[in-house]
Structure 1
Amino acid sequence: MKLMSDLNCSDYEEMLNIPTHLVIILSQDGKILKSNIEHKKILGWNLDEILGKSLHFFMHEGDHEVINKKLIALISGKELSVTLTTRCCHRDGTLRWISWTAITKDDLLYAIGTDVTKMMETETETALIQNTIVQKEYQTRFTTFFEQSTLAMEIYSLDGFPLAVNKAWEVLFDTTRDQLKGYNILKDPLVRHSTIWSYVQKAYQGESVEVPAFWYDPGTLNKPGRARWLEAWISPVKDEFGGIREIALILKDVTEKIETQKALVKSIIERKATEEKFQIISNRLSMAVKAGHIGIWEWIPETNHVYWDETTELMYGYVEGTFPRTLDALNERIHPEDKDYLWRSISQAIEQKRPYRIDHRIIKKDGVQRWVQESGMALYDEKGKAYHMLGTVMDITERIEAEEDQKFLSQSSELLNISLDYKEILKTLSGHAINYFCDGVFVDQLLPDGEIKRLMIVHDDQEMKAKLEKLDKDFPSHHENNPMLKPLFNGQLMFNEDSDVFLEQIRTTHSEIYYLALKDLKVKSSIRIRLKGRESVLGMMTFITMKGSSKNLTKRHIWLAEELTYRASMAFENALIHQASQEAIRSRDEFLSIASHELRTPLQSLTLQNQMRKRNLDKKMFDVFTPDKVSGMIEADLRHLMRINRLIDDMLDISHIRAGKLTFMKEKVEFCSFVKDVLERFRPQVESKGCYMTAVYTDSLVSNIDIYRIEQVIVNLLTNAMKYGAGTPIKVEVCQRQNKIQLHVHDQGPGIKEEDTERIFERFERAISSNEVSGLGLGLYISRQIMTQNQGALYVRSIIGKGATFTLELPLEE
């Protein structure tokens, strides 16, 4: 490796072609003869503007005296080469720091300079490493990345005690900072007896040194830790007067590299220029930063120039090297709503002379919004004015989205408590989803009979909502073989990022009109998830986004939709259970109310009549107890007791039905003869209500039935006909329809509304108010249960004002 003094004239002539250095050849009187100043516009001057002029032409006036002293020492032969750093005037009026090395040969002066402006202005880790290698320049610690660096770093006082170590150092030596108390590098026997000791001494004498790979084995002194190969860089950190302030030591574990390929260490040792050595170290730090996906930025407030590294450019959507490097270009990428907050935070940090850290949104060059965490600090001149800012930026979009998702789900859980009405809960959760990640939500309910019912459509656009409702109305059978319903039956989530592709599948199973109607909705993407309770399937939720909307469903939203659907399922099922329990409580309370009323009436009558009889006996009024009158009293009592007995039987039947213990004893009977017998026995009761009963029979019909239970049904139908059609004719008709026996009971009562024709077969239900007629409202419910157990059916047809026809159906025996 050649020293500067060993370089000949041809070497310097060749250096004129090196783009990274500024080369100038001067005469003995300091006139510029040749230069590569035009290459890459170094200092901005054209060659013809400086040829023949003094070196002082573009040197800062304050450095002229130092330059003159150095040139005199060189020309006089007192020095073979000189090194100094001066401020040079750029053609645009700004100042650049240039590090010069010069020699004299053949009556000419040869000077080579390197732009070290950033090294002089930036108090960063990079500046610290460079300044330990570059000749006696102003040095500052790179505090921004000290803790983040993968290189182990130590700062020692002049008496050898550690002032600071970073996390990488703790990891390298498997120790903590607290364990360093009392440690002294100058007294460490492991250091004093290793090859690094001589370099440590040089550093304490003011020399920056690079320590080649050396073997570190703490086991030789029974210290903890494993043996390894280490590289080191040691440099004195000097103050502005050239005095040594502290010693910086950088260590790197190169065991693997040494063992596999020693060429890397050799290439570092053989570098011939300190600038090239710095570049290697700088690259290593840059790689460490990139590995953490951290970008680096710099801002010069005076010129408003902004510098980004490759990672930062990519983060903001720029191809490497294409960022315009202006403050205006930076502001274009800051989200409009966050811009004031960001600059206010920066201004406060500068004013208070402290670092800052802020999370804010950016708009990438392609229009995509991202979240970043920006950290920065300012460097100040002797007057306290910020002249340079530097910092880091890191993409935290995924973290922010995860936090927002958790907040969304937490709020969703809170919304479950607003109501016990499942429709209101589902509507509220759907609206919550629309406010966060989708444009619309459909909820389909799977009914107990297997029918699929569109429970609700939630969408902010009323026109779109009307279109969806019309679609359901125009295509009532669209559920059949519809691919959209697969999640409902197989339980597998369906995600359609491009709905147009999915619609082509529907086109193969449904009509073209239905396909075009779906396409007209302009749905962009959708997620379909089954609503499933603990034991049953409840339905399905569909989340959609519309074409032209800023929202778009992605894989990230699948998890979110699943979590929301799970919460909706639990709330849905709990609401249904609550609804059923409330209905059961209502039915129980109504039953108890009706039962108490129905039982109280005959009991009160019995009580009053017996009290009156007792009074008559006490008064010895025996004439009221004639045989005829006593017979009437007994008949009245028996009617009341029969009524009580029938109420008790109904209640017992209900209990047996619910427990599945209603017993049946079936036998084959000739149905028409059986009905005639029942009607004849019941005719006196019918006529007592002023009703006239007729019967029409067909040929012999045989059925396998429980005659006691079927008689119970027929009597219940006749009782209802008397109750609701008192004083009007009752017609009973027995006939055959295909393989069924039918018994029709026609009355001329007030009739039953069509919407009530199923309700009246439920427990405690009547066609009219319970205040108008007596009874528990159990007769038709029990009758239908009996018919079901006998493989039969019971239903009613009615016209308001024209009476009702109850039909009993039983299977016909051959």
Structure 2
Amino acid sequence: MTIPAPSPAAELNTDQRFQTLFEQAPFSVQLLSVDGRTLRVNQAWKDLWGTHEGDPLLEFVLSEYNMLTDPQLEVKGVTAHLRRAFAGEPVRLPAIHYDPAELGKPGSARWVEATARPIKGPDGNVVEVMLIHEDVTDRLLADRALRASEAQFRTIADAMPQMVWSTLPDGYHDYYNRQWYEFTGAPQGSTDGEAWNGMFHPEDQPRAWEVWRHSLGTGDPYEIEYRLRHRSGEYRWVLGRALPVRNEQGLIVRWMGTCTDIHEQKEARDELLANNRRKDDFLAMLAHELRNPLAPISTAAQLLKAASDDPARVARSAAIVERQVRHMTELVDDLLDVSRVTRGLVELERRPVEIKGVLGSAIEQVRPLIEARGHQLTTRMPSGDVHVLGDRTRLVQVVSNLLNNAAKYTAPNGGLSVSLAVGEAVEVRVADTGIGIEPQLLPHVFDLFTQGERTPDRGQGGLGLGLALVKSLVELHGGRVTGESQGPGRGSTFAVTLPLMKAGTSTTSDPDEVIQMPRASQALRVMVVDDNKDAAETLGMLLESLGHAARVMHEPAQALAAVQLSSFDAFVLDIGLPGIDGFTLARRLRAHPNGSAATFIALTGYGGADDRTRGNDAGFNHYLVKPADMGELARMLQQA
């Protein structure tokens, strides 16, 4: 079968069709000859460059202009790409910036991209190159604005103290700021996608997934507290939050979230809540402990009324009242003791103390309870004397508290031990075979308001203040106390460590030595102001016995009136006075001519550092805390 050759009319129609397609193409087309000259351009090209028929620029391009010899195109890197196209390789030219001034045309600058496609003849040689242009100005400007916006966002995100992250609408994590990687220590990109969940504490992962999936499914804000693995390996509490970003149609296009380190705040909050619970438990226990002795006291009172003519019943009732009042007194003393020690209102009498004697005295104090419960007590002591520097009475109180607890919380016929070891420091250990301590309670046994669970069959009583008092007193001596227990029913051991007194320090001490109070070499006029009448009167009598002339006042108003009439050499003032405090009274007395040159001595129960600072500011020359060394007071007056 022979295919007829196309007729001239058919060729003409093909050429027309090509010309129509070329001219009406929606994109700019420029045909180049093999030597780089422009053969033809379409209407879209003319529109792109703002030219038209008869325009000198168009005539120049179609007649004289050669793209392969244009020095500007050479500089912009276009020429090399064109040569590859003329060599037969399709090439995408880089975006070129064109300034209208370069073309002699009005308008704004633009960015143009071009694709060079070689047109080959039947022999395979390139006969023409077709350039297809695209104005990408808007796209490039949008991309540039987007990159600038992203750079600004990253700068802001990296400057934030929180960890910032972002996900796609389906929850795929694709961005974390610098703080995330600094906090977690994770390699860049290693937590993208769903790998972030592996950074959570294993116990928190299911809940975190559940809450996150709910937010992804509903669009609800995401908020959760969980433990996040820190670069140190420990897990720290963080607050995770995220909000959806929606487009104009209301569809979620992204999630933006933060993680805030709240570890210290959460621990402080949890500790505060635990302290509040312990305080509430303590108050309930205090009420229970105070009601217990009130019941037999009330019953004994009724018996005294009903059987007043029965001497035996009266005696038994009186004994009951006496024991229960003693018990209540001990409870109140414990409360006051802990309050004074923990508020810094106790000053130790530091003297050389033989510690074995301290242990002996403590054992003697607790021995009645030990014997009553049938315990076996063993002691282990090194040979020779062992001295520490401290307050003997308080050290006896420390050991007796530990031994008393051991005796109370050990079932009858149990075992107790007291041992003393000496090395670089002195260690006293009190151990028992008693009820032991729960592991979760052990770190808190020295805290105020802490006590093991009370059950109806526990009749040992007490407020749980003993160990808090022990800790405070030991620390005042520069030592430390620790507790150990293998758990419930396996006994407890408490160890008190105290600094060993340095060699060469005099160990001579006489706790019963008479306080030396020098008699006044010159009689002073001394005003004593204390609202405790007994304290004021006895101090006034003591000062008079030393040769001074003492005036005793009980109210600040009396003191201010007296200084108007007489001058004084010294004032001994309490701080807790009615009406105005001792600090204010001292200032007013010193402001009067009859008191301006006097020596001012504070004698008070307020012994904290802040109180002493306020005393200095108020003009006190000396500050003594009750019960004070009267010999020291006498020497202060002697110096005055």
TM class by smaller structure: 0.3 to 0.5
Query: Of the two structures, which has the highest relative contact order with CA contacts closer than 8 Å and spacing of 6 or more?
Result: 2
Structure 2 length normalisation: TM-score?
A: 0.46
